[in-house]
């Protein structure tokens, strides 16, 4: 990392992206699953150019969490985009306006509440519009989604709605963080078994097959082995320090780093850096950064614009020295920055705008 030739041109704190590593991560993912079963989540990268790279590699299906992320994908004419977040009434209008503005993109969404879905069905009447949806299923994340034993009744009720087409089922298992790959396989199979049984009953009853979108990056290796499942990892594209520790079996590498600089030397072991809460995700305990050039660094205190760390010896430290860190949690870290500095062949060449960090782009 210290081989970057013009690192001095980049102010801090800021993000740098090693493009070759990111592209290697994408290739590694595509070696695990076929394109027809690959639906990467863009909530990690939020960058138009990254989505274009995925599209140019043959990716036609995407998953997103926000209206802005949907619009970003509409801007590149992504073919098939799933919003994996419940629509509230105000977002229903924005969602339909996206379909009208970007007709080359087929947008779908998830629901787990019948009354809310009836509201959406009524709303669609005024647009003379038929909408594909996925039923959101809860297998233990306990965030959104229907319990498995309610799927059949919910499915039957939806059939009464004239503007709604059930495309499939969406199942997220972010609560499964088992490090051992064999145990992770076992847990995923166990928690998904009831969901698959209920879906199979529905399919047999209606003599058809539905799409199943399941999992994230941690369970990607498990779901990639199931031919029925579309896999939707997101973090894989950039990776981070937390997932590197938890899931050593997944051969992705960290592609995004934070550069920071020394702004104060407190004593023989303590320095202060310019990387505060506003530059790196702060929802988890220390350490929030793993410093490449000071792996022994211990985080002492962090505030909005400062991070105090303890190292072995500060005698060779100067004000302005660069420290490069791997974020512990990359997804919310990306959303804190307006742009990312792209490195190619160890040279900083240009910036990419993190366009979907906005709550609203146009619609």
Three-state SS at 289: strand
User: Start-end ranges of CATH 2.40.37.20 in the chain?
Assistant: 7-14+252-357
Contacts of 134 (CB under 8 A, 6+ apart): 82, 108, 109, 110, 111, 166, 167, 168, 169, 170, 211, 213
Q: Indicate the CATH number of 7-14+252-357 among 2.30.40.10, 3.40.50.800, 3.40.50.300, 2.40.37.20.
A: 2.40.37.20
**What is the distance between the alpha carbons of residues 136 and 80, in angstroms, rounded to a whole number?**
18
Give the model confidence (pLDDT) of 143-170 as tens digits: 999 999 999 999 999 999 999 999 999 9
Mean pLDDT of the chain: 97
Inter-residue contact 67 to 94 (CB < 8 Å): yes
212 pLDDT tier (thresholds 50, 70, 90): very high
227 pLDDT tier (thresholds 50, 70, 90): very high
Give the model confidence (pLDDT) of 73-108 as tens digits: 999 999 999 999 999 999 999 999 999 999 999 999
Residue with the two structure tokens 């709550």: 359
Predicted confidence at residue 52, as pLDDT, reads: 98
Give the model confidence (pLDDT) of 261-283 as tens digits: 999 999 999 999 999 999 999 99
- Taking residues 225-252, report their average pLDDT: 97
Please check whether the domain covering 19-238 is classified as CATH 1.20.5.50. Answer: no
Predicted confidence at residue 201, as pLDDT, reads: 98
User: Start-end ranges of CATH 3.20.20.10 in the chain?
Assistant: 19-238
pTM: 0.97
Percent of the chain with pLDDT over 70: 99
350 pLDDT tier (thresholds 50, 70, 90): very high
Q: Is the pLDDT of residue 2 over 70?
A: no
Q: Is the pLDDT of residue 286 over 70?
A: yes
Q: Is the omega angle on the peptide bond into residue 13 within 30 degrees of 0, that is, cis?
A: yes
Inter-residue contact 13 to 258 (CB < 8 Å): yes
Predicted confidence at residue 3, as pLDDT, reads: 87
- Taking residues 55-79, report their average pLDDT: 98
**Closest by alpha carbon to 237, among 219, 255, 222?**
255
Q: Is the pLDDT of residue 57 over 90?
A: yes
Q: Is the pLDDT of residue 1 over 70?
A: no
**44's tokens:** 């990690």
**149's tokens:** 């034993």
**Closest by alpha carbon to 117, among 149, 89, 80?**
89
Predicted confidence at residue 128, as pLDDT, reads: 87
């Amino acid at each position: 990392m210290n081989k970057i030739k013009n690192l001095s041109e980049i102010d801090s704190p800021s993000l740098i992206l090693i493009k070759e590593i990111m592209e290697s991560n994408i290739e590694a993912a595509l070696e695990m699953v076929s394109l027809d079963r690959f639906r990467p989540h863009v909530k990690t990268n939020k960058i138009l150019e990254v989505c274009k790279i995925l599209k140019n590699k043959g990716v036609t299906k995407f998953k997103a969490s926000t209206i802005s992320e949907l619009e970003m994908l509409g801007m590149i004419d992504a073919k098939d985009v799933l919003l994996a977040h419940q629509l509230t009434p105000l977002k229903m209008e924005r969602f339909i306006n996206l379909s009208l503005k970007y007709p080359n993109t087929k947008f779908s969404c998830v629901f787990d509440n019948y009354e809310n879905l009836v509201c959406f069905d009524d709303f669609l009447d005024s647009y003379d519009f038929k909408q594909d949806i996925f039923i959101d299923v809860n297998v233990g994340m306990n965030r959104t989604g229907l319990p498995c034993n309610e799927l059949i009744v919910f499915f039957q009720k939806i059939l009464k709605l004239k503007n709604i087409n059930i495309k499939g089922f969406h199942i997220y298992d972010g609560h499964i963080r088992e490090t051992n790959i064999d145990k992770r396989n076992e847990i995923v199979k166990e928690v998904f078994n009831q969901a698959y049984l209920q879906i199979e009953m529905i399919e047999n009853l209606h003599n058809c097959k539905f799409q199943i979108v399941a999992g994230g990056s941690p369970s990607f290796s498990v779901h990639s082995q199931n031919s029925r499942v579309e896999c939707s990892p997101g973090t894989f594209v950039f990776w981070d320090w937390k997932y590197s520790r938890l899931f050593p079996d997944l051969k992705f590498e960290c592609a995004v780093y934070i550069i920071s600089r020394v702004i104060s030397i407190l004593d023989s072991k303590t320095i202060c850096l310019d990387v505060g809460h506003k530059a790196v995700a702060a929802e988890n305990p220390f350490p929030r950064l793993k410093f490449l050039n000071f792996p022994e660094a211990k985080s002492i205190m962090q505030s909005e614009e400062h991070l105090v760390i303890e190292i072995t010896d500060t005698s060779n430290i100067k004000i302005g020295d660069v420290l490069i860190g791997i974020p512990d949690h990359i997804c919310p870290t990306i959303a804190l920055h307006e742009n990312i500095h792209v490195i190619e062949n160890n040279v900083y060449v240009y910036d990419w705008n993190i366009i979907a960090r906005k709550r609203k782009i146009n619609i």
